[in-house]
Amino acid sequence: MTSHCFTRSAPNMDFVIEWQGYRIQVAYQPNWLGGASHLAVAHFDITTIEPPRAPLPITETGYRSHFLHPDEVAAHGGPEAFVKAWLDAKAQHVGWKTVHAANQQLDLFGGG
């Protein structure tokens, strides 16, 4: 019996999400390596665009490159749902709540 490896043909996606007052640019490549589906590696480039390069729960610099298996993305309902769920989960940590509160305080005084 011969096994066949199929290449995922899902297209790359670029989109912007709004999350807790932040505008976030997301580039998603479902098959970053271009290999067989059992070896597939998906890739996210995530950048805060408003406020520019503002920290997020998943990055202190406003930019994150992240690799994972595309099945993890599919299990969350697709790339947009995955990123929002990831942000929501990490936002529960005390460290993010402190950073977010400080950023909100700066905005009140025109510093952010």
The answer to whether residue 67 sits within a structural domain is yes
The answer to whether residue 55 sits within a structural domain is yes
Interval 16-44: pLDDT, tens: 999 999 999 999 999 998 876 667 899 99
Host domain of residue 26: 13-108
Tell me what pLDDT residue 11 has. 86
What average pLDDT score do residues 78-84 get?
97
The answer to whether residue 5 sits within a structural domain is no
Q: Which of 2-6, 54-58, 64-68 has the lowest mean pLDDT?
A: 2-6
The answer to whether residue 54 sits within a structural domain is yes
Interval 59-75: pLDDT, tens: 999 999 999 999 999 99
Helices (H), the chain: 70-75, 79-90, 94-108
pLDDT at 48 over 70: yes
pTM higher than 0.85, yes or no?
Answer: no
* Structural domain count, the chain: 1
Enclosing H/E stretch for 14: strand 13-19
